[in-house]
Amino acid sequence: MRRVSLLLVAVLSASFLVPASAMSPRGGAVFNVPNPYGNDAANFRIVKKVERAIRNTVRTRRHRNPVIHISTYLLDRPTTVRTLIAACRRGVQVRVILDEDIESRPSRKLITALNADNVRDRNRDGRADTDPRAGRCNRRLGAAHGGLRVNPGEDNTQLDLFTPRQAVRSVGAPSRRKATWGRDGSYVKRCEGSCRGVGGNMHSKFYLFSRTKSSRHIVMVSSSNLNSGGGKLGWNDMYVVKRRKKLYRGFKAMHRLMTDDVRAGGRKVQVSDGPYVARFFPMRNASKATDPTLRDLKRIRCRSAFGRTRIHISMFYWKGERGAYLLDKVAGLARDGCKVRIIYGAPSRRLAERMRNMARRNLIGLWDSRWDYNDDGLNEVRTHAKYVLVKGTVGKNRRAHRVWTGSQNWVGGSLFRSDETTLNIGLRSAYVSYRKNWDKVRNHSRRLPYDVYGR
């Protein structure tokens, strides 16, 4: 009996010894594995990491007003929506900016829960024009409260959804003035085109957490949206930074500007914090002379302490005038002696042919990540990442390890029209993680050029 009691005490004690990593997202790189190469866990490795951070964002005595900020092009995953609504209902302020697909049922469910109590402030005096018509996170509702009706459900999240028309009207209303956010301090926003540009799209993918159970000031920058396609159809990456207050505040400030549809100026918006440099786009009136990506490439030299500088690129969308001058620079680095390796996902025909010709001359190594497994004329898988890896000389550092990643494709609109985010990382550990991922994607891609037999 004594042995059983001691064993029970040991088991119970061990159950409370939860490692910090179980409650706080581990910093560093995360990669998914799309179909048909990975199972469900591998498909949604990035998305589930975001969802775990959402679940572990809670109110405490010391942190009474936790906040989650999300910026994503797509969000149609039911599990993510349920997780965000649950966070709001336990007192977390949830602020989401979307671009596409707000009429899907999961998106409308999120919009209904977070926006039912939103109000307008037409005279911009910082006070709501009317009282919120629904309770916090739409949970204390009903005709008596002038709000929406809740259908009984096991988790109390089955709402009478906004119609698509109501959803469209709702997501245009929130502004950066707190008075418009309702009692829960939460909202879903969609900008007209890009939030800070003219035309374009809101294409940024970043996820911010003021504090989880065991960490604070968490910034996640990704190429992946919070949707099914982000997990199953493309190779994606995400980098997690923790306890960098300056970086976190920079992203938070940008989210607020995006919420208010504040148009960007022509200057580069950049936040530097230790080994991290975050940039926010669009840069209106940007040109080849002011393109930050081209300037980064110009800092590379091909002789280094490691021998030839090595450049590995994984790029989804690559076309147009900007794509051409970035390829010109990459080709010039290859001619100067850098060892250049490229995986592409969706290049224009003209640039793809240029790259194949470069590969034929052994100037670069080239791989095509696209596969059409069912012969329906559509690619079921391809790289969706947008990163550059450098090992060698960057600026005056002859032993540099660099990762340049984010949401920005190598096209003009990503520079001067759409909302985009990039993150430059100066850490060897990040380079090693990304290089392993690049090798993995290459192993599931076709070496180019290849003949009609696929060799």
CATH number for the domain that contains residue 358: 3.30.870.10
Last residue of a domain, one of 210, 240, 259: 259
In a domain, 62, yes or no: yes
Domain range for 125 is 21-259
Q: Which amino acid is at 353?
A: E
Residue with tokens 């002038």: 146
Strand, helix or coil for residue 376: coil
- The tokens describing 416, both together, are 């001067």
Last residue of a domain, one of 193, 228, 259: 259
Same domain, 220 and 318: no
Q: Which helix (H) or strand (E) segment is 274 a member of? A: none
Widest distance between CA atoms in the chain: 79
Q: What is the pLDDT of residue 20?
A: 41
Last residue of a domain, one of 220, 240, 259: 259
Distance CA 342, CA 333 (A): 13
Give the residue ranges of the chain where pLDDT is below 70: 1-25, 101, 133-136, 139-159, 450-455
Give the distance from CA 81 to its chain's centroid. Answer: 16
Instruction: Tally the domains of the chain.
Output: 2
Distance CA 197, CA 283 (A): 8
Q: Which helix (H) or strand (E) segment is 432 a member of? A: helix 428-443
Give pTM, 2 decimals: 0.89
Q: Which residues of 384-399 are buried (b: 16+ CB within 10 A; e: fewer)?
A: bbbbbbbbbbbeeeee
Distance CA 229, CA 194 (A): 21
Distance CA 65, CA 185 (A): 10
Same domain, 230 and 251: yes
- The tokens describing 194, both together, are 């890009």
Q: Which amino acid is at 416?
A: F
Distance CA 86, CA 104 (A): 19
* Contact (CB, 8 A) for 358 and 387: no
* Contact (CB, 8 A) for 386 and 322: no
